[in-house]
């Protein structure tokens, strides 16, 4: 009888692990900037705010991350082409914004990743 209880508890434990692993993402989170010109901005997460800067397209890998995430990126030359900022988890774009939508010189991508 005790073997049946042990096997039952083991099955329940395995089911819980499978259910929890389905709720937690182990995919890397990236901030992607697409722009032909120069840009600068900030990434704000639970550890604080850090500055970013570059020219052209760039991908910033944040590793596995959960919580609030905000990227604010501004064109250095307001007359340059459209700037796009995306937050990607694994292979899926979870939020994307661009300067064409806002008619401004900057783009803000903000999300809470569970």
CA 85 to CA 92: how far, in whole Å?
14
Residue 99 in 3-state DSSP?
A: helix
Question: Sign (positive/negative) of CA torsion 23, 27, 74, 82?
Answer: negative
Identify the pLDDT of residue 8: 63
Tens-place pLDDT, residues 21-79: 455 557 899 999 999 999 999 999 988 999 999 999 999 999 998 899 999 999 998 88
Give the pTM. 0.75
């Amino acid at each position: 009888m005790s073997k049946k209880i042990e096997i039952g508890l083991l099955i329940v434990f395995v089911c819980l692990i499978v259910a929890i692993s389905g709720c937690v993402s182990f995919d890397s989170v990236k901030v992607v900037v697409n722009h032909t010109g120069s840009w600068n901005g900030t990434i704000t997460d639970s550890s604080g705010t850090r500055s970013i800067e570059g020219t052209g397209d760039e991908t910033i890998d944040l590793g596995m991350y959960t919580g609030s995430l905000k990227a604010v990126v501004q064109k250095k030359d307001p007359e340059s082409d459209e700037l796009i900022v995306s937050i990607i988890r694994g292979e899926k774009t979870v939020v994307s914004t661009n300067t064409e939508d806002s008619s401004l010189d900057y783009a803000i991508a903000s999300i809470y990743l569970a």
